[in-house]
Amino acid sequence: MREIKIPYIDYMAQRWKALYFSGALILITFVSLAIQGLNFGLDFTGGTVIELGYQEPVETAEVSKALEGVGLTGVTVQYFGSNRDILLRIPPSGETSNAALSQKVFDTLAAAAGGKVEMRRVEFVGPQVGEELTEQGGLAVLYSVFGILIYVALRFEWRFSVGAVAATVHDAIIVLGVFSIFQLDFDLNVLASVLTVVGYSLNDTIVIFDRVRENFRKVRKGTPLQIMNQSVNETMSRTIITAGTVFLVVIALYLFGGETLRGFSLALLVGLISGTWSTIYIASNVAILLGVSPANLAVPKKEGEGAGAQV
């Protein structure tokens, strides 16, 4: 990989400020989750999704007013691409069947628009299915964290393992915080994005830890903090190139991927920034705070190695 020239920066000199900053973000996230929670999509809560296409531009307020006029309250109305495409999210209701509900909605809006509307898609998710998806999604994140803990501990050392897990958990929490604070829809696409962020953050962390292990065995002088800082600087070119290319792709996905992928791409954008930050200031910091040293990664001598020849 072609490298770019980057000035040497003492990243570890700002490690405490970085930890306090990340701690503040996590605290804000927990407060938001406690007060507002997540705005779960119908994938988790259950309900009906209806996509409509109008022949002329329509205001979401007009659609909501028409639905409230026939007793349909709590319906989320949003544009789905253009101001002629409307997406309705209707919470679950045991009063009417899914087919009857969707037909009632269509008849109401068709009458309000003079028949200049067509129904493009109807999807229904039962509450039980939503509960199962919530449980399985949480288990997926939990299993991935345990897998990272075991993998990094076996490949490097347990202190690095704890640092890697701290970084990935940090990134997942930051993504959840953004979606909680701004009450953005949290659906299966966003959950998949969170798991993608976990994998990306781990990959970036492994690259730096691999260089740390190499420098611990090669550099004879210097404290663990200095060697860690040297390793971060040596891999920064690769980090910027990788993160930069992924960032451009995700930006394009966010701008041109449509409403369906909007939450997925936004979570990736947040996770990409957080993942780069946490690799430098969380994973490395935690390993240092736990007392990692060159002795922890020293190559064990083979039995009899270095022994003098017997006469």
CATH number at residue 67: 3.30.70.3400
Mean pLDDT of all residues belonging to the chain: 83
Q: Which residues of 250-285 are buried (b: 16+ CB within 10 A; e: fewer)?
A: beebbeeeeeeebbbbbbbbbbbebbbbbbbbbbbb
Helix (H, G, I), strand (E, B) or coil at 194: helix
Using only C-alpha atoms, what is the Rg of the chain?
26
Same domain, 82 and 215: no
Enclosing domain of residue 98 = 47-125
Are 43 and 187 contacting, i.e. CB atoms less than 8 angstroms apart? yes
Within a domain: 154: yes
Q: Is 209 exposed, middle or buried (0-12, 13-18, 19+ CB in 10 A)?
A: buried
- Is 90 exceeded by the pLDDT of residue 309? no
Same domain, 35 and 159: yes
- pLDDT the model gives residue 42: 75
- Is 70 exceeded by the pLDDT of residue 311? no
Same domain, 217 and 92: no
Are 294 and 223 contacting, i.e. CB atoms less than 8 angstroms apart? no
The one-letter amino acid code at 178 reads: V
Question: 43 falls in which pLDDT band (50, 70, 90)?
Answer: confident
Question: In this predicted model, what pLDDT tens digit does every residue of 272-298 receive, in sequence order?
Answer: 999 899 988 998 888 888 887 777 665
Question: 129 falls in which pLDDT band (50, 70, 90)?
Answer: low
Beta-ladder partners of 87: 51, 78
- pLDDT the model gives residue 300: 54
Same domain, 32 and 138: yes
What's the mean pLDDT in 182-200?
A: 85
Residues 6 or more apart in contact with residue 132 via CB below 8 angstroms: none
Same domain, 119 and 134: no
Within a domain: 1: no
Range 67-70 contact pairs with CB under 8 angstroms and sequence separation of 24 or more: 67/105, 67/108, 67/109, 69/108, 70/104, 70/108
Q: What is the distance between the alpha carbons of residues 226 and 232, in angstroms, rounded to a whole number?
A: 10
pTM for this structure?
0.80
Same domain, 180 and 254: yes
Same domain, 120 and 178: no
Same domain, 86 and 159: no
> How many Cβ atoms sit within 10 Å of the Cβ of residue 208?
25
Number of domain units in the chain? 2
Question: 176 falls in which pLDDT band (50, 70, 90)?
Answer: very high
Residues 6 or more apart in contact with residue 153 via CB below 8 angstroms: 160, 161
72, containing H or E segment: none
Instruction: Please say which residue of 87, 108, 125 terminates a domain.
Output: 125
- pLDDT the model gives residue 178: 95
Same domain, 141 and 219: yes
Are 294 and 231 contacting, i.e. CB atoms less than 8 angstroms apart? no
Same domain, 112 and 146: no
Within a domain: 5: no
- Is 80 exceeded by the pLDDT of residue 17? yes
* Lowest-confidence region among 60-69, 72-81, 186-195: 72-81
What's the mean pLDDT in 39-43?
A: 79
Report the Cα–Cα distance between both ends of the chain, in Å, rounded: 52
Within a domain: 308: no
Q: Which residues of 30-56 are buried (b: 16+ CB within 10 A; e: fewer)?
A: eebbeeeebebbbbbbbbbbbbbbbee
Same domain, 231 and 209: yes
Within a domain: 88: yes
